Amino acid sequence: MRKTFAALDDALIERVFQPVSDFITNQTGLTRTRSACFCLDVASLGWIVARANRLSDAVDSWDAGQACMGLMLLLLGLVALVSLRTLFRRAATGKANPLRPAMQPHRAVVLLMLAARLEQWPTPVLADFADLAMLVSAIAALYLGACAERPPVRTAWLVSGRAFGGNKA
Binned at pLDDT 50, 70 and 90, residue 169 comes out as very low
Assess contact for 48 and 78: CB atoms under 8 A: yes
In a domain, residue 81? The reply is: yes
56 or 63, higher pLDDT = 56
In a domain, residue 97? The reply is: yes
In a domain, residue 45? The reply is: yes
pLDDT digits (tens, 9 = 90+) for 27-44: 988 888 889 999 999 999
Q: Rounded CA gap, 54 and 130, in Å?
A: 13
In a domain, residue 147? The reply is: yes
Q: Domain range holding 145?
A: 2-164
Assess contact for 29 and 127: CB atoms under 8 A: no
Percent of the chain with pLDDT over 90: 16
In a domain, residue 113? The reply is: yes
In a domain, residue 127? The reply is: yes
In a domain, residue 92? The reply is: yes
Q: Rounded CA gap, 135 and 150, in Å?
A: 26
Q: Rounded CA gap, 71 and 5, in Å?
A: 34
Closest by alpha carbon to 41, among 81, 80, 71?
Answer: 81
In a domain, residue 169? The reply is: no
pLDDT digits (tens, 9 = 90+) for 121-163: 777 777 788 888 999 999 999 999 888 776 555 555 555 555 5
Q: Please count the structural domains in the chain.
A: 1
SS3 106: helix
Report the C-alpha dihedral over residues 9, 13, 16, 21, rounded to 10 degrees: 150
